[in-house]
Structure 1
Amino acid sequence: MRIKPLAAVPVVLAAALAAVPAHAESAKPPTVPVGTTAAWLVFDRQAGKFVATRNAHRKYRSASIVKIMIAIDYLERRKNVPAADAKLLRTMLRSSDDDAASTFWERGGQGKIIVRTARELGLADTTPPPASKPGFWGYVSLSAYDIVRTYRYLFDRADPKVRDLILGHLRKATPCGADGFDQTFGIPDAIPRPWAVKQGWSGFGTTPPSACKEAKAVGAPISWVAQRATGSGVPDYGRPVLHTTGLAGQGDRYVMAVLTAHPVGGTWSGSVKRITKLTRDLYRGVAG
């Protein structure tokens, strides 16, 4: 599924692309709970403009959101996808499988994946993990702006085969992640279908607070969710993060990214409630 590589985005153009108008908020913005750091960006594809924004260029550690970029990089450098890799892509995108992500990460040259993707998609804030942690794909730094831009790239410039494969899997995201955590927070719980989602979470330990029926029977010895950010160069290190991103509304009208960092020691259930309420209030504000 190879397409012609995009040239590096000129500095002037990159600056223009990065400019998110401060007046994009079309309604009263959601209230962010004390102790929670939040950023969001919503692009209305029908109107062709941003309709809600907060801290759109603030960097967060990606957790599993980076799996979309890993998939784009993999697909655009190959004409054919072996059956075994197709299965890995399916579980990585639908169930956020960390083992699958690590496989592609190692094959693609780790941080080189992010360098290539940021250049080809014209991302403003996305950078590889710290040099001291090259294998930690979840320590990629990114912003709500770059996530929205990534989804828009799939619609506007990607090969249709790449777009349809990735978005097709995100439309069928499973209720449970491969590590046993419930990934229906944010968009799935807050917004009626149709939607397509890629979720991210990090810093909540290795054991889900409650059983998830669709959990993978046997997990990796160490999953991404167990890798706590512990060093400089990693946004919000030491704090649990929870992100919900994707498409919402008829005809995939809205491209949404809601990124959050929660208080140290914050519980999974409390964090889920906070991001889901933020997402619900944000969507009601833009969709009416």
Structure 2
Amino acid sequence: MSKRTAMLLSGLCLGAIVAMLAFIYSTRGPVQASVAMPLETTAAAITPSEDEPEPTPEPEPSPTPTPTPSSKTSTPKLASQVPGGQLAAMVYDRQENKALLAEHADTVFTTASLVKLLIAFDALDKGTSSNSTVTQMLSRSDDNIASSLWVMNGGQSIVTRWAAKLGLARTKPPADPGHWGSTRTTASDMVKVYRYLMDNASDSIRSVVLTALRKATKTGADGFDQYFGIPNGIDKPWAVKQGWSCCDPTRNLHTTGLVGEEDRYIVVILTSRPSSVSWAAGSRQVTTASHMLESLLN
């Protein structure tokens, strides 16, 4: 076959193919090419088929319940007020004859000047001191008077004797007989001390001690501001015995006493913190903790 004949046959075949495609287009419409969906297309642009089941949504976690505000009778937590230290507290309602709060109430602390209550009971009971001298020791927290009565009346035996008489399970005399401020006690034992004063002490002892506690001076005999805690933190009548001491082995601040009309409540807060914490900061801590107790005192 000649080259010219081959070209003629190729042309005829190409023409036949074009004619056939034209016929198909006229009867069926254009053939569409498939298009791949771009990767950026969002899920919202995809409509699921009616035959395809909807995916089951994952269950949402239940929200954490929001704590309800504390009610007037709820029990406050005081220990957070002494970061890096310790706090024990007890509130006793003498009218209802029950404890309203007991937080670490059996934790042992150094008494500092709180032991002067036992020294006063002992001196008044034995008649070895005048009423005015005991009043001054308690109201001004006078260390010199306390030291004199401590030595005069037997030192450590004062604590041992009165702990047995009042049922103070964890109150112990100091290891050093000459250091009365290192006597050990607890918040629950201090509540028993005040219950004895109000319920079992003789009228003469009660009168002298209560008068002194109601007349607690703004500053102690050593110049320390002793109105921290109950006096500055609770807006009710009070009769208090405070305690403070340094490096025994920590810095201690205690506020204790009778609060409210007719001395209804016994309030005890014992605290200790590192000696690096200033006295002013420690006093504020105890005052704030005392103020938190007002919701319990009707």
Q: TM-score range by the shorter chain?
A: 0.7 to 0.9
Q: Which residue of 1 aligns with 2:261?
A: 250
Q: Which residue of 1 aligns with 2:84?
A: 35
Shift of 1:36: 2.2
Residues 129-155 of structure 1: CA distance to partner in whole angstroms, max 9, x if unpaired?
01xx11100000001111110000011
> Structure 1 residue 182 and structure 2 residue 231: aligned?
no
The residue correspondences of 1:194-273 to structure 2 (distance < 5 A) are 194-203=237-246, 228-229=247-248, 237=249, 239-273=250-284
Structure 2 residue corresponding to 1:278, chosen from 289, 292, 298: 289
Number of equivalenced pairs: 225
The answer for unaligned runs of 5 or more in structure 2 is: 1-72
> Structure 1 residue 192 and structure 2 residue 270: aligned?
no
In 2, Cα distance between the equivalents of 1:70 and 1:180? 22
Task: Report the AA paired with residue 219 of structure 2.
Answer: C
Report the 3-state secondary structure (helix = DSSP H, G, I; strand = E; otherwise coil) of the residue aligned with 1:244: strand
User: RMSD of the alignment, in Å?
Assistant: 1.4
Q: Which residue of 1 aligns with 2:178?
A: 135
Task: Report the AA paired with residue 37 of structure 1.
Answer: Q
Shift of 1:76: 1.5
In 2, Cα distance between the equivalents of 1:98 and 1:67? 9
Task: Report the AA paired with residue 64 of structure 1.
Answer: S
Partners of 1:243 and 1:260 within 8 A in 2: yes
Shift of 1:254: 0.5
Which structure is larger by alpha-carbon Rg, 1 or 2?
2
In 1, Cα distance between the equivalents of 2:225 and 2:272? 18
In 2, Cα distance between the equivalents of 1:71 and 1:186? 22
> Structure 1 residue 77 and structure 2 residue 126: aligned?
yes
Partners of 2:256 and 2:268 within 8 A in 1: yes
Report the 3-state secondary structure (helix = DSSP H, G, I; strand = E; otherwise coil) of the residue aligned with 1:192: coil
The residue correspondences of 1:155-166 to structure 2 (distance < 5 A) are 155-166=198-209
Report the 3-state secondary structure (helix = DSSP H, G, I; strand = E; otherwise coil) of the residue aligned with 1:70: helix
Task: Report the AA paired with residue 271 of structure 1.
Answer: G
Structure 1 residue corresponding to 2:101, chosen from 35, 39, 52: 52
Q: Could you tell me the TM-score, scaled by structure 1's length?
A: 0.75
Shift of 1:197: 0.3
**Identical pairs, percent:** 41
Partners of 2:82 and 2:273 within 8 A in 1: no
> Structure 1 residue 171 and structure 2 residue 214: aligned?
yes
Shift of 1:26: 4.5
Shift of 1:74: 1.3
Shift of 1:126: 0.4
In 2, Cα distance between the equivalents of 1:88 and 1:256? 25
Stretch moving more, 167-176 or 69-78? 69-78
Higher relative contact order (CA 8 A, sep 6+): 1
Task: Report the AA paired with residue 296 of structure 2.
Answer: V
In 2, Cα distance between the equivalents of 1:75 and 1:284? 33
